[in-house]
Amino acid sequence: MPDTSEPVSAAKTKLSPADLRTRKGATPIVCLTAYATPMARIIDPVADLILVGDSLGMVVYGFETTVPVTLEMMLRHGEAVVRGAKHACVILDLPFGTYQESPRQAFRSAARALAEAGVAGVKIEGGETMAETVRFLVERGVPVLGHIGLQPQSANTMGGFRAQGRSEQDQARILADARAVAAAGAFALVVEGVTESLARAVTDAVEIPTIGIGASSHCDGQILVTDDVIGLFTDFKPRFVKRYAELAPQIARAVEAYADDVRSRRFPAPEHTYGAGKK
């Protein structure tokens, strides 16, 4: 008798950036973030792409922006996520200051991501100005996920975390960004915080899949920060986030119950206690 106890996901093959590239206009690509092995294991059966996002700076480390995140932090979280992902394609964000200086700097950072963390590719923020870097990486064997529109690493020069593409000039710039990054060889493109009409125009303009975040349904896939989806990160909730669970209050209730039990000596009970002659 075949063993039918295996979860369906275990039978699935590992997805590569090239597999995702072929999903343009097909079934929407499901993307989520993870920063550690347990979360990667939970979302791996349903996600096509797991992003080790530099959002971990805000979500895990409590920074106000993603700017202070280092490559060392990303590599350690990256390798933890890779250990938990059997099926999804794992991509790692290159953090601020580790790729903008030159294509060579970007290659050194990306090579560490692939070799040390074992991820399948890297994500870099930027449009036309980063196209040369995208080409340099792809020609040297590094799959690149682009990221245009709202770019959190540039919040200091973009005037904060604001939706992009409201003026005609901005729309033309973002469309040019999308075309440049796609032409440079990116396998897919994250489009963040743009109006619905611009998202549609970008998706129509490029031959690679677009992955939206705050970019309407006119994209070839969607990504959200998992901690937003499950209500674990509660500092703020962007308009584009849909919560599917409220874990923060559940955790608060669980630890309150534990604290009550400890203070009233209800925990540990006999079943949690080792005694002579007991196993």
Active site residues: 192
Six token digits for residue 53: 């996002």
What is the smallest separation between the CB atom of 9 and ligand KIV, expressed in angstroms?
Answer: 22
190 is an interface residue for ligand KIV by CB under 6 A = yes
Q: Which listed range, 41-49, 52-60, 177-185, 233-241, lies at the site for ligand KIV (CB under 6 A)?
A: 52-60
Contact assessment for residue 169 and residue 140, using Cβ atoms and an 8 Å cutoff: no
State the nearest-atom distance from the C-beta of 83 to ligand KIV, in Å. Answer: 19
Q: Binding residue for ligand KIV (CB under 6 A) from 54, 177, 220, 227?
A: 54
Q: Does 113 bind ligand KIV (CB under 6 A)?
A: no
Binding to ligand KIV (CB under 6 A) within 84-103 occurs at 93
From 168, 167, 136, 164, select the one nearest 151 (Cα to Cα): 164
Contact between 171 and ligand KIV (CB under 6 A)?
no
Instruction: Find the part of the chain contacting ligand KIV (CB under 6 A) among 17-25, 47-55, 132-140, 253-261.
Output: 47-55
What does the alpha-carbon distance between residue 18 and residue 135 come to, in Å, rounded to a whole number? 16
Shortest CB 59 distance to ligand KIV, Å = 8
| Of the residues 223, 229, 230, 232, which one makes contact with ligand KIV according to CB under 6 A | 223
Instruction: Specify the stretch interacting with ligand KIV by CB under 6 A; choose among 22-30, 51-59, 109-117, 233-241.
Output: 51-59
Closest to ligand KIV by CB, 113 or 223 = 223
Work out whether 221 is an interface residue with ligand KIV (CB under 6 A).
no
d(CA 166, CA 149): 11
33 binds ligand KIV (CB under 6 A): yes
| Choice between 72 and 260, CB closer to ligand KIV | 72
Residue 90 structure tokens = 């794992």
We find the least distance from the C-beta atom of residue 114 to ligand KIV, in angstroms, to be: 18
Distance CA 267, CA 279 (A): 19
Instruction: Out of 40, 48, 53, 136, name the contact with ligand KIV by CB under 6 A.
Output: 53
Smallest gap, in angstroms, from Cβ of residue 34 to ligand KIV? Answer: 10
CB-nearer residue toward ligand KIV: 55 or 203: 55
110, with CB counted inside 10 A (0-12, 13-18, 19+), is buried
For the CA atoms of 53, 192, 135, 131, the dihedral, rounded to the nearest 10 degrees, stands at: -130
CB burial readout 9-33, b (16+ within 10 A) else e: eeeeeebebebbeebbeeebbbbbb
Rounded to a whole number of angstroms, the minimum distance from the CB of residue 214 to ligand KIV is 9
Q: Which residues bind ligand KIV (CB under 6 A)?
A: 33, 51, 53-55, 93, 190, 192, 213, 223, 225
